[in-house]
Amino acid sequence: IVTRGEMDKFRRQVEAEVAHQQMNAERAKQVLKDAETDLLRDRIDQLLMVAKAKELDLKVDQQLSKQMATLQLKSGITDTDKFQQWVREQSGMSFEDYKQQTKDGLLSQEVVRREVGGRITISKAEEQKYYDDHKNEFVREEQVWLQEILISTRDKDEKGVAAAETKAKDLVNRARKGENFNTLARDNSDAETAEGGGNLPAFKRGLLKKEIEDVVFQQSKGFVTDPIRQGNGFLVLRVSQHDAAGLQPFDAVENEILDRMYQPRMQPALRAYLTKLRQEAFLQIK
User: What is the pLDDT averaged over residues 233-249?
Assistant: 91
How many whole angstroms separate alpha carbon 215 and alpha carbon 206?
13
Q: Can you give the pLDDT at residue 74?
A: 78
pLDDT digits (tens, 9 = 90+) for 191-210: 889 888 999 988 998 899 99
Sign of CA dihedral 245, 246, 249, 252: positive
Q: Can you give the pLDDT at residue 35?
A: 82
**At 224, phi and psi to the nearest 5?**
-120, 125
Length of the chain, in residues:
286
Q: Report the percentage of the chain scoring pLDDT > 70.
A: 100
Q: Using alpha carbons, list the distances in angstroms from residue 56 to 30, 44, 103, 253, 278.
A: 37, 18, 15, 35, 17
Q: Using alpha carbons, list the distances in angstroms from residue 275 to 39, 45, 136, 264.
A: 16, 9, 38, 18
Q: Which of 125, 106, 113 is nearest to 63 (CA)?
A: 106
The type of residue at 49 is: M
Q: Which of 25, 200, 4, 279 is nearest to 12 (CA)?
A: 4
| Residue 52 confidence (pLDDT) above 90 | yes
Q: Which of 54, 74, 25, 68 is nearest to 193 (CA)?
A: 74
pLDDT digits (tens, 9 = 90+) for 221-239: 999 999 999 988 999 999 9
pLDDT digits (tens, 9 = 90+) for 262-280: 989 998 999 999 999 999 8
Q: What is the DSSP string of 184-236?
A: HHHHH--STTGGGTTEEEEEETTSS-HHHHHHHTT--TT-BPPPEEETTEEEE
CB contact at 8 A, 168 and 227: yes
Q: What is the pTM of this model?
A: 0.62
pLDDT digits (tens, 9 = 90+) for 78-115: 899 999 999 988 887 889 989 998 999 999 999 999 99
How many whole angstroms separate alpha carbon 75 and alpha carbon 86?
8
How many whole angstroms separate alpha carbon 98 and alpha carbon 62?
16
DSSP 3-state percent helix, strand, coil across the chain (nearest 5)? 65, 10, 25
Q: Using alpha carbons, list the distances in angstroms from residue 27 to 12, 14, 22, 30, 153.
A: 17, 13, 10, 5, 40
| Residue 26 confidence (pLDDT) above 90 | no
